[in-house]
């Protein structure tokens, strides 16, 4: 390799994700919450790792403001942000700066305005425009260049999620010596939907640059293999697909596998066990007036999550049981909605829909001092979330479509006494694994009401048995197991001419 080629990096393992695992509050950096971050940091620490991602800050740059008529004003109002490298417990953080135009086109328009809705069953119409795609392409190139620079010779690079679909092929071009993994955290759509994407071939070529492609569910892996065959003439293989094109590396095997992500079970259990958590859970129940049943929903405020469907069905349940109401609410719903992506129209609309429904259900069923829906639109500390999981009786996880849904797994991991019922959408990735939940089709309002009634009426012995089974499963399939199995698959993919028959978890 020439001395000035990228490849002088020193990191044996490089994670590439849209966001860095740190964020800034009042000028101070904090590690971001979540099992994924913890698991990846653990792995990186043992391997001299680097993490490449966006800091969440928008870099200074000209911002064009529409002033009406033909006139536009160019202003520069965004606070400058240092792009200096950060160190977090021996892991190098490499920020990829995004300016206002990158944020608009790469993050809002392509990632969250085109890819996110299409990959989630086209629940909302995607918008496609070539200008935004050019920026998405350019930002992906910058991520690939940063990875190429950080990686040591023969290093492993693990790329994450739909923001970075083009990075694997770009990186392979820059650094043919590194082993490249890509994991998609969201669903991979069926062919009929994917075919709408104007840049469908480019996306497939981008992904086919990887050595290992991981999906949450086998249906996503199957969708990908079908499309690679149809549009890129790739040959299906026992372990994935073989490339059939000069430019992508003819004859190369791309392993395709199913790797359902999970949570840090020990951490959730530790919080659930803490006396403060139990006390907080008791306080929550008391503050609600000791209702007979607490339903709980915890979601990002996103139209994929089906918060609106859940609220409608909750209203219908209360209407059916109205005669049973006395002075206090016997049944309540706590709905936590974590805001985000608020510059995207469909998120603004979803917020309005949800808030209108909260008003309607409370307007119809609340009594003085006792609302039936407790709606909290903000992000809560994990300790408070676990206290809510412990306080609740019935967890509602009813997305229209979801890659996995880790809230379902967190609820299970919190139920140390094996009580409680999980109502889970068939359209969440978690439904493939959490088969002892009450599985429901969230598109059918009667089915959600029936599931709510079933959960309320479930005998404690039945609920206990089901929760025990769920907990056994989640305890045996943690986020550490997930990371290890993906890295294991990458390890087997290491030398380009290694035997392709080693990985058990792969697509068959
Ligand atoms: C989903 C995506 C993640 C993303 C997260 C939060 O889980 O799969 O990649 O980070 O949502 O969304 P945000 O747009 O705030 O990063």
Q: How far is the CA of 186 from the centre of ligand 1 (A)?
A: 9
Q: How far is the CA of 285 from the centre of ligand 1 (A)?
A: 31
Confidence of residue 249 (pLDDT cuts 50, 70, 90): confident
More confident position, 338 or 500: 338
Give me the pLDDT at residue 71, please. 38
Q: Which residues partner with 334 through β-bridges? A: 296, 374
Say whether 294 sits in a helix, a strand or coil: strand
Q: Do domains 11-107+138-261+480-492 and 265-476 have the same CATH topology?
A: yes
Nearest to 168 by CA among 177, 159, 155: 159
- Residue 241 beta carbon below 6 angstroms from any ligand 1 atom: no
Q: How far is the CA of 234 from the centre of ligand 1 (A)?
A: 30
Give me the pLDDT at residue 101, please. 97
Q: Is the pLDDT of residue 502 over 60?
A: no
The 10 Å CB-count burial string (b at 16+, else e) for 105-138 is: bbbbbbbbbbbbbbbbeebbebebeeebbebbbe
Q: Give the mean pLDDT of the chain.
A: 90
- Residue 184 beta carbon below 6 angstroms from any ligand 1 atom: no
Q: How far is the CA of 247 from the centre of ligand 1 (A)?
A: 32
- Residue 92: enclosing H or E segment and its boundaries? strand 91-95
Q: Whose CA is nearest to atom 11 of ligand 1?
A: 300
Give me the pLDDT at residue 247, please. 85
Q: What is the largest CA-CA distance in the chain?
A: 80
Confidence of residue 494 (pLDDT cuts 50, 70, 90): low
Sign of CA dihedral 53, 56, 60, 63: positive
Q: Is the pLDDT of residue 279 over 80?
A: yes
Lowest-confidence region among 55-69, 129-143, 262-276, 471-485 = 55-69
- Look at the domain 265-476 and name its fold: Rossmann fold (3.40.50)
For the stretch 159-186, pLDDT in tens is: 999 999 999 999 999 999 999 999 999 9
User: For the chain, what percent of residues have pLDDT higher than 70?
Assistant: 89
For the stretch 427-446, pLDDT in tens is: 999 999 999 999 999 999 99
Domain boundaries, the chain: 11-107+138-261+480-492, 265-476
Q: How far is the CA of 17 from the centre of ligand 1 (A)?
A: 10
Lowest-confidence region among 22-26, 118-122, 124-128 = 22-26
User: What's the whole-number mean pLDDT along residues 11-35?
Assistant: 89
- Residue 108 beta carbon below 6 angstroms from any ligand 1 atom: no
Ligand 1 atom with minimal separation from the 185 CA: 8
In Å, how far from its chain's centre is CA 508? 25
- Residue 161 beta carbon below 6 angstroms from any ligand 1 atom: yes
More confident position, 36 or 505: 36
Give me the pLDDT at residue 439, please. 98
Q: How far is the CA of 340 from the centre of ligand 1 (A)?
A: 9
- Look at the domain 11-107+138-261+480-492 and name its fold: Rossmann fold (3.40.50)
Nearest to 165 by CA among 144, 146, 193: 144
Q: Is the pLDDT of residue 25 over 90?
A: no
Give me the pLDDT at residue 67, please. 37
Q: Whose CA is nearest to atom 8 of ligand 1?
A: 185
Ligand 1 atom with minimal separation from the 403 CA: 8
Q: Is the pLDDT of residue 221 over 90?
A: yes
- Residue 480 beta carbon below 6 angstroms from any ligand 1 atom: no
Give me the pLDDT at residue 324, please. 60
For the stretch 53-110, pLDDT in tens is: 999 999 875 444 333 444 333 333 223 234 344 566 678 999 999 999 999 999 999 9
Q: Whose CA is nearest to atom 14 of ligand 1?
A: 341
DSSP 426: T
User: What's the whole-number mean pLDDT along residues 386-405?
Assistant: 98
Say whether 384 sits in a helix, a strand or coil: helix
Give me the pLDDT at residue 68, please. 40
Ligand 1 atom with minimal separation from the 160 CA: 9
Q: Look up the pTM and report it.
A: 0.92
- Residue 185 beta carbon below 6 angstroms from any ligand 1 atom: yes
User: What's the whole-number mean pLDDT along residues 462-479?
Assistant: 98
Q: Which of 54, 113, 185 to mutate to test the pocket of ligand 1 (most atoms within 8 A of CB)?
A: 185
Give me the pLDDT at residue 248, please. 86
């Amino acid at each position: 390799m020439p001395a000035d080629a990228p490849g002088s990096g020193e990191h044996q393992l490089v994670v590439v994700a849209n966001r860095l695992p740190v964020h800034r509050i009042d000028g101070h950096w904090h590690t971001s919450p979540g099992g994924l971050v913890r698991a990846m940091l653990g792995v990186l620490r043992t391997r001299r790792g680097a993490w490449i991602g966006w800091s969440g800050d928008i870099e200074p740059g000209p911002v064009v403001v529409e002033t009406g008529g033909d006139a536009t004003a160019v202003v520069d109002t965004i606070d400058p942000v240092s792009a200096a490298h950060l160190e977090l417990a021996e892991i190098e953080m490499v920020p990829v700066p995004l300016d206002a135009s990158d944020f608009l086109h790469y993050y809002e328009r392509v990632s969250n305005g085109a890819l996110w809705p299409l990959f989630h069953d086209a629940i909302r119409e995607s918008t496609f425009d070539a200008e935004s795609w050019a920026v998405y392409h350019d930002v992906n190139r910058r991520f690939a260049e940063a990875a190429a620079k950080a990686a040591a010779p023969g290093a492993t690079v693990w790329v994450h999620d739909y923001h970075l679909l083009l990075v694997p092929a770009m990186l392979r071009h820059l650094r043919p010596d590194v082993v490249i993994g890509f994991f998609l955290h969201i669903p991979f759509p069926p062919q009929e939907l994917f075919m709408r994407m104007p840049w469908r071939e480019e996306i497939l070529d981008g992904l086919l640059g990887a050595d290992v492609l991981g999906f949450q569910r086998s249906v996503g892996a199957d969708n990908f293999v079908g499309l690679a065959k149809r549009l890129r003439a790739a040959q299906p293989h026992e372990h994935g697909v073989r490339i059939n094109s000069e430019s992508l590396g003819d004859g190369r095997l791309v392993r395709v596998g199913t790797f359902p992500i999970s949570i840090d079970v020990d951490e959730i259990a530790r919080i659930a066990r803490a006396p403060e958590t139990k006390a907080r859970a008791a306080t929550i129940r008391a503050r609600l007036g000791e209702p007979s049943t607490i339903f709980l929903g915890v979601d990002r405020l996103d139209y994929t999550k089906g918060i609106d469907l859940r609220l409608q069905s909750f209203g219908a349940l209360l209407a059916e049981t109205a005669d049973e109401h006395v002075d206090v609410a016997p049944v309540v719903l706590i709905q936590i909605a974590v805001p985000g992506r608020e510059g995207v129209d469909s998120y603004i609309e979803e917020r309005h829909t949800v808030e209108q429904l909260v008003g309607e259900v409370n307007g119809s069923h609340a009594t003085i001092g006792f609302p039936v829906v407790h709606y909290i639109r903000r992000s809560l500390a994990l300790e408070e979330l676990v206290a809510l999981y412990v306080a609740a009786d019935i967890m509602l996880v009813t997305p229209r479509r979801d890659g996995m849904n880790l809230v379902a797994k967190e609820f299970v991991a919190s139920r140390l006494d094996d009580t409680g019922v999980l109502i889970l959408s068939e359209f969440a990735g978690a439904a493939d694994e959490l088969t002892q939940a009450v599985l429901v089709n969230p598109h059918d309002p009667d089915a959600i009401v029936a599931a709510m009634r079933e959960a309320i009426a479930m005998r404690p012995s039945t609920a206990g048995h089901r929760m025990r089974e769920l907990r056994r499963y989640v305890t045996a399939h943690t986020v550490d197991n997930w990371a290890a199995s993906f890295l294991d698959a990458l390890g087997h993919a290491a030398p380009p001419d290694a035997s392709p028959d080693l990985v058990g978890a792969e697509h068959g």
